[in-house]
């Protein structure tokens, strides 16, 4: 572990920059000051005063292999010396081409045409644009389909903070209700969980299906909307409904992809594939911003034509950044030996054992675990700032959201650190346990 030096102990940058930084999801007038962090290693954050916190979140679900993994660090050093960035228009480079091939091999079915961008929200926007244009392109040939201008998404969903992605988030819980009316309204429904709710969604699609370009869902876990779980049968129902109504199906695996739910991709638990999948967060093992919208062959081929306008007119400046793609390739190397499966199972067992006693705590309405995701849900929204401060006293970095305290640690988090994390949750929610 690195040792703090005197610069870290007197972080002038913090005082000098504080008046000029606009922080995320934040009422800047009343928010507690942020914690200055000066280094990361493995499952830990090192603060400016030398304290170490066990990270229960893996930096918003990105750092799946833990921080500063030497294999990813070496790949980044090699790539930065050779070519940190080059434009993707008219040029090709190995890191992106290799990554596209590897993602195609890794993803089930024929999800095999990757369009790269820099953030999750932008990947979702691209997937939405692909779906709209899929119908426009096909409509140009069949004179049908050009009226499909809306999306069907679900209560509890979260797909990003940009303008178009805000419209497909949960309209009340999705942090964006202020902006209702600014952008076109989408069709927001309840997830089908049984035959009855599948029939209700089928009836909705019978009426509005012709307007819908695609159904958009986070498979198995609605993450930022409150870590809400559903079963594989829901995904199979959505596949059936999409096919029956000529609608595309988009899975947003930005949170669930790369092992988080126990399978490489959440869709694999259902044995079905969407027409487009979005990936980001853990794609680079938590090192650099990169995302992808990966389309099936059927979707990709709808863009092939003698007509230049039928192509996808999109190209972010930093698209397929070689450094980020090198990090993603190195992260995929780390998945190759399959050891992550045992790690996720180990984390899952530790979260189940450590969080289950929280059921007895005041205000707790549910405790649930899926893969390397552990959730304690309350009957009302929790005081995020106060709880964060309490967790820091316990040596843990845990930032609740809405009604849930949750843990999404790195898969490589040692047992002792997992024990500290769950003990911190038990202590803060106020349950005594023989383990403590
Ligand atoms: C985080 C997240 C996004 C948005 O990704 P950004 O990189 O923050 O834009 C979209 N969808 C899901 C499911 C996410 O978890």
35-45 pLDDT per residue, tens = 999 999 999 99
pTM of the model: 0.96
In sequence order, what are the residues at sequence separation of 6 or more whose Cβ sits closer than 8 angstroms to the Cβ of residue 265? 107, 108, 219, 253, 256, 257, 258, 277
Instruction: Say how many Å lie between the first and final Cα of the chain, rounded.
Output: 27
Q: Residue 291 to residues 24, 74, 211, 282, 304: CA-CA distances in angstroms?
A: 20, 21, 28, 9, 23
Strands 373-378 and 404-407, by their bridges, are: antiparallel
Q: Residue 181 to residues 77, 138, 166, 403: CA-CA distances in angstroms?
A: 47, 30, 11, 26
Q: What token pair was written down for 115?
A: 């369009």
In the reported structure, the alpha carbon of residue 290 is separated from the centroid of ligand 1 by a whole-number distance in angstroms of 11
In the reported structure, the alpha carbon of residue 307 is separated from the centroid of ligand 1 by a whole-number distance in angstroms of 33
CA nearest neighbour of 288 among 45, 10, 63, 8: 63
- Sign, CA dihedral 62-64-70-76, equals negative
Q: Which of 280, 283, 401, when mutated, tests ligand 1's pocket best, judged by the most ligand atoms within 8 Å of its CB?
A: 280
pLDDT score recorded for residue 183: 86
Residues in the chain, pLDDT under 50: 1-2
Per residue in 251-264, is it b (16+ CB within 10 Å) or e — as a string? bbbbbbbbbbbbbb
* CATH numbers and ranges of domains, the chain: 6-68+338-429 (3.90.1150.10), 70-336 (3.40.640.10)
CA nearest neighbour of 285 among 316, 320, 329: 329
What is the distance between the alpha carbons of residues 392 and 157, in angstroms, rounded to a whole number?
Answer: 29
Q: Do residues 56 and 373 make contact, with C-beta atoms less than 8 angstroms apart? A: no
pLDDT score recorded for residue 172: 84
Q: Which of 281, 291, 324, 401, when mutated, tests ligand 1's pocket best, judged by the most ligand atoms within 8 Å of its CB?
A: 281
pLDDT score recorded for residue 8: 53
Q: What token pair was written down for 429?
A: 């929610």
353-389 pLDDT per residue, tens = 999 999 999 999 999 999 999 999 999 999 999 999 9
């Amino acid at each position: 572990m690195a040792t703090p030096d005197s610069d870290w102990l007197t972080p002038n940058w913090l005082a000098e920059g504080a008046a000029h930084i606009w922080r995320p999801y934040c009422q800047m007038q009343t928010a507690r000051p942020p914690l200055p962090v000066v280094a990361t290693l493995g499952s830990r954050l090192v603060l400016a005063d030398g304290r170490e916190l066990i990270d229960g979140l893996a930096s918003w679900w990105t750092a799946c292999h833990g921080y500063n993994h030497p294999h990813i660090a070496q790949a980044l050093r090699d790539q930065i010396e050779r070519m940190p960035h080059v434009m993707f228009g008219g040029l090709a480079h190995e890191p992106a081409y290799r990554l596209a091939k590897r993602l195609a091999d890794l993803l089930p079915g024929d999800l095999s045409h990757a369009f790269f961008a820099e953030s999750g929200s932008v990947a979702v926007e691209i997937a939405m644009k692909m779906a709209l244009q899929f119908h426009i392109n096909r409509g140009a040939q069949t004179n049908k389909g050009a009226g499909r201008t809306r999306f069907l998404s679900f209560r509890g969903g979260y797909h990003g903070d940009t303008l178009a992605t805000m419209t497909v988030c949960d309209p009340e819980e999705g942090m964006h209700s202020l902006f209702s009316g600014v952008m076109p309204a989408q069709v927001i429904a309840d997830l089908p969980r049984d035959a009855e709710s599948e029939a209700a969604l089928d009836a909705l699609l019978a009426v509005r299906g012709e307007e819908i370009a695609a159904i958009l869902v986070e498979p198995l876990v609605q993450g930022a909307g409150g870590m809400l779980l559903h079963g594989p049968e829901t995904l199979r129902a959505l596949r059936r409904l999409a096919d029956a109504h000529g609608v595309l199906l988009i899975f947003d695996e930005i949170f669930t992809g790369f092992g988080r739910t126990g399978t490489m991709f959440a869709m694999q638990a259902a044995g079905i594939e969407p027409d487009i999948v979005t990936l980001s967060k853990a794609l680079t093992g938590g090192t650099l911003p990169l995302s992808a919208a990966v389309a099936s062959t059927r979707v990709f081929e709808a863009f092939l034509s003698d007509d230049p306008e039928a192509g996808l007119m999109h190209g972010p400046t930093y698209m397929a950044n070689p450094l980020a793609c090198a990090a993603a390739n190195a992260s995929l190397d780390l998945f190759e030996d399959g050891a992550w499966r045992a790690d996720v199972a180990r984390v899952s067992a530790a979260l189940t054992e450590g969080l289950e006693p929280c059921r007895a705590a005041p205000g707790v309405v549910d405790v649930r675990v899926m893969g390397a995701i552990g959730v304690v849900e309350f009957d009302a929204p929790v005081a995020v700032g106060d709880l964060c401060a309490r967790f820091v006293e316990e040596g843990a970095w845990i930032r609740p959201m809405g009604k849930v305290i949750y843990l999404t640690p790195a898969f490589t988090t040692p047992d002792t650190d997992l024990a500290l994390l769950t003990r911190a949750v038990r202590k803060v929610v106020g349950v005594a346990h023989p383990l403590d």
